[in-house]
């Protein structure tokens, strides 16, 4: 294993102190060098050495350019923090926090909406978001059985902030995917208050670490190691110069397509490969492998998609924006299987649509239905698609007592991309 640099530790890994050594020792084939891969213009988000982003592979969905970081943090004010929790040979999980702005979110609320693609999962706080159309806490992502511990920690963190002394009700928003294969100790609910606070207090603007970090530490997608992905789109001045940013926690399946190329079929890894091999011998047969995900590949799992924009949208149009993220999900080969939990949370940071908790009347100014809204819809679909690719391409191989899940092989992806659509 290469020597990890101080820069990589500071930028790529937001970890509770005792877990750092375990992190470096327990990630199987993950290397720990100093440099992060760049995926082209406007792409400086950190990935592990030897991994890449979609743009470095020649995949850039849509016609709009990304922002500076090609991440959700290109929406001004949005911050992201990770706590990566690796302990012994069993715990491979974490927390990822998304903060819409740096102010008092409980007092200065942002309009928000939730869209459910397939509801086989848990999104705590979603009913109030749907009813009121606003967020009053950061959004946390974590593991399935850690939702309630994360929510309790989020409430404690929020109530301890200045000005919250008389608050008697709060709606924490916590989403999950099930990382129980690699996170073999999931029943112990290994995310604790210190981890949540580390993610919240460590949230920053700028580059977003991607791959097997935070809530993506133990996830699996399309039979390979999944994780955290992020991307953004910046609209030209003629379309309002708005920005849309997306962050995903990928832990789902289907028949992977990247940029239209049938990568999952070309690599012989998808939920139906064994059944098809029995009836269509000409198709690629499944490989002999020790990879746990390859042996047990299904389309079940979940994805959480967080969409942020600085465009002044009401919760009604944020719901429409969130629905377009599902179109980007579909492009990657997902069909929202029976056992998949597919959720989108969208919010606007625009000052003109903020909702003060103390206001007697609200006077908001939102974007009308029109061409700019259509462009935002396209941006959301494109950024979601790319964020999912990045969650796979940036992820590193992870090993635990639950087995090994390999990172998708970049050289074979490149070969499949050269083959084009099938």
Of 90, 212, 302, 337, catalytic: 302
Strand pairing class (340-348; 108-119): antiparallel
State yes or no: is 342 an active-site residue. yes
Nearest Cα to 184, choosing from 88, 296, 302? Answer: 88
State yes or no: is 231 an active-site residue. no
Nearest Cα to 117, choosing from 386, 417, 384? Answer: 384
Of 126, 340, 348, 400, catalytic: 340
Assess contact for 327 and 364: CB atoms under 8 A: no
Assess contact for 208 and 69: CB atoms under 8 A: yes
The secondary structure of 160-221, three-state, reads: CCCCCCCCCCCCCEEEEECCCCCCCCHHHCCCCHHHHHHHHHCCECCCCCCECCHHHCCCEE
How far, in Å, CA of 94 to CA of 192, rounded? 10
Assess contact for 232 and 243: CB atoms under 8 A: yes
Task: Put residue 344 in one of left, alpha, beta given phi > 0 → left and psi -120 to 50 → alpha.
Answer: beta
- In DSSP terms, which residues pair with 87 in a beta bridge? 91
Task: Say whether 413 sits in a helix, a strand or coil.
Answer: helix
Q: Which residue has the tokens 């990630």?
A: 27
Assess contact for 67 and 245: CB atoms under 8 A: yes
**Structure tokens belonging to residue 347:** 């919010």
Of 342, 348, 390, 391, catalytic: 342
Crossing angle (nearest 10°) for helices 315-331 and 371-393: 40
Residue 170: count of CB within 10 angstroms of its CB: 16
Angle of CA points 348, 64, 255, to nearest 5°: 90
Enumerate the active-site residues.
302, 340, 342
């Amino acid at each position: 294993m290469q020597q990890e640099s101080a820069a990589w530790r500071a930028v790529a890994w937001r970890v509770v102190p005792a877990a750092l050594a375990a992190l470096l020792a327990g990630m199987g084939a993950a290397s720990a060098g100093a440099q992060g891969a760049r995926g082209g213009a406007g792409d400086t988000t950190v990935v592990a050495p030897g991994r890449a982003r979609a743009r470095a592979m020649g995949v850039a969905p849509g016609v709009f350019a990304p922002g500076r970081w090609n991440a959700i943090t290109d929406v001004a004010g949005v911050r992201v923090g990770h706590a990566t929790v690796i302990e012994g040979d069993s715990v491979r999980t974490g927390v990822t926090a998304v903060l819409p702005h740096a102010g008092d979110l409980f007092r200065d609320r942002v309009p928000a909406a939730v869209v459910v693609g397939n509801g086989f999962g848990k999104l705590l706080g979603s009913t109030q978001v749907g009813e009121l159309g606003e967020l009053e806490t950061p959004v946390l992502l974590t593991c399935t059985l850690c939702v309630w511990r994360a929510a309790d920690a989020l409430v404690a963190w929020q109530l301890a902030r200045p000005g919250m002394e008389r608050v008697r009700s709060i709606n924490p928003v916590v989403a999950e995917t099930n990382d129980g294969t690699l996170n073999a100790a999931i029943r112990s609910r290994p995310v604790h208050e210190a981890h949540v606070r580390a993610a919240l207090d460590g949230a920053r603007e700028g580059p977003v670490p991607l791959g097997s970090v935070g809530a993506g530490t133990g996830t699996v997608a399309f039979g390979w190691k999944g994780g955290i992905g992020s991307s953004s789109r910046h609209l030209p001045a003629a379309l309002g110069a708005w920005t849309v940013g997306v962050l995903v926690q990928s832990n789902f399946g289907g028949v992977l397509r990247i940029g239209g190329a049938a990568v999952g079929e070309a690599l012989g890894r998808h939920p139906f490969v064994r059944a098809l091999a029995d009836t269509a011998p000409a198709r690629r047969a499944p490989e002999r492998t020790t990879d746990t995900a390859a042996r047990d590949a299904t389309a079940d799992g979940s994805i959480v998609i967080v969409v942020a924009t600085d465009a002044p949208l009401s919760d009604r149009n944020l719901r429409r924006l969130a629905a377009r993220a599902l179109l980007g999900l579909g492009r990657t080969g997902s069909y929202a299987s029976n056992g998949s939990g597919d959720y989108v949370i969208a919010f606007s940071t625009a000052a003109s649509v903020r909702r003060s908790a103390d206001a007697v009347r609200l006077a908001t100014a939102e974007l009308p239905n029109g061409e700019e809204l259509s462009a935002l819809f396209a941006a959301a679909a494109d950024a979601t698609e790319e964020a999912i690719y990045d969650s796979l391409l940036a992820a590193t191989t992870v090993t635990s007592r639950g087995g090994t899940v390999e990172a998708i092989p970049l050289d074979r992806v490149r070969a499949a991309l050269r083959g084009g659509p099938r």
